[in-house]
A = this chain, B = another copy of it.
């Protein structure tokens, strides 16, 4: 399986490490031999046939900051060039999420789909702003567009909803989809901290970014909610169709009040008749009322009732394992093999 990897940050590098570590087993168990023929980062690209020396590329990236310094380096090659010029089975897009323009990920994904390359992405921006069109584009070109790492990190929330609940009818999906805000709210509740104190602690521990806007204003949750609404419930919406409210205004006393009623305040993305993101009161004995950086999602389906998934929602290696899950799906589709 010939792969072009676009974006070589934490997730991209974890994916390369995962392949290095698991190749023998993947070949043996699944007949999957992932060969990365190109990697692109901001400084340029590295390209090799039949495949890159991943250990060298990782080492160079760490030392020089760009894969263009590799022995396989190509300083002037762009992602779009490589998408069209390399012989590829899959394009893996891991550039950072941009919720204003979705770029550069959106261009990469559109171009790859138009050239009939299967696409796997962990980039929420293009999906939040253009998922209905991208799904149509992938179907029209008869290639896969897979993105299981965009919701739940390594926890297969989308796959569960798509494959395991296909025969039922999803009535409602709601979940705690952002570990940063859940960590902040949990630590406000457990330790009586203010929002600002809890945010600072989360930043110190690496759970929140220096600019925490995407998380604390609810946009990360909103992107994931858009993906769930489209992929699992056929709702054809984008980010602009949602009402989004974050947690910056949640106070210590809001949380105290909730506690007295046996409830916790959680940032919840919900797809029901309305689609929204906002802080909600959740009963403390409700299984989705989890603390720390975990994610939890409730699927309400008509015949099998309520089902809940809980797992880690982020992490480089976890998200890389979601890319591998998608890669295996592409392989199985190409080989018309089943999961058994």
Q: Which of B25, B156, B304, B318 contacts A165 (CB 8 A)?
A: B156
Q: Determine the distance from Cα of A325 to Cα of B297 in the docked complex, in whole angstroms.
A: 21
Question: How many copies of the shown chain assemble into the complex?
Answer: 2
- Interface residues as binary, A159-201 with B (CB distance below 8 Å gives 1, 0 otherwise): 1101111111100000000000000000000000000000000
Please state if B154 and A303 are interface contacts (CB–CB under 8 Å). yes
Q: Which of B163, B291, B308, B325 contacts A310 (CB 8 A)?
A: B308
Please state if B321 and A168 are interface contacts (CB–CB under 8 Å). yes
**Given A167-B328, A338-B333: A309 touches B312 (CB 8 Å cut-off):** no
CB distance from A156 to the nearest CB of B (A): 4
How many chain A residues sit at the interface, stated as a range, is: 35 or more
- The residue in A169, A287, A294, A328 that gathers the most chain B C-beta atoms within 10 A of its C-beta is A287
Which residues does chain B contribute within 8 Å of A320, judged by CB atoms? Answer: 303
Q: Determine the distance from Cα of A303 to Cα of B340 in the docked complex, in whole angstroms.
A: 20
Please state if B325 and A167 are interface contacts (CB–CB under 8 Å). yes
Please state if A287 and B305 are interface contacts (CB–CB under 8 Å). no
**Given A162-B339, A163-B163, A163-B164: A305 touches B318 (CB 8 Å cut-off):** yes
Which residue of chain B has its CB nearest to the CB of A310? B308
Q: Determine the distance from Cα of A86 to Cα of B59 in the docked complex, in whole angstroms.
A: 64
Which residue of chain B has its CB nearest to the CB of A159? B164
Known: A156-B165, A304-B311. 10 other contacts (CB 8 A): A155-B304, A159-B163, A159-B164, A166-B328, A167-B321, A167-B325, A168-B325, A287-B310, A303-B318, A305-B311
List residues of A whose CB falls within 8 A of some B CB. Answer: 18, 25, 30, 139, 144, 153-156, 159-160, 162-169, 285, 287, 290-291, 294, 296, 303-312, 315, 317-318, 320-322, 324-325, 327-328, 333, 336, 338-340
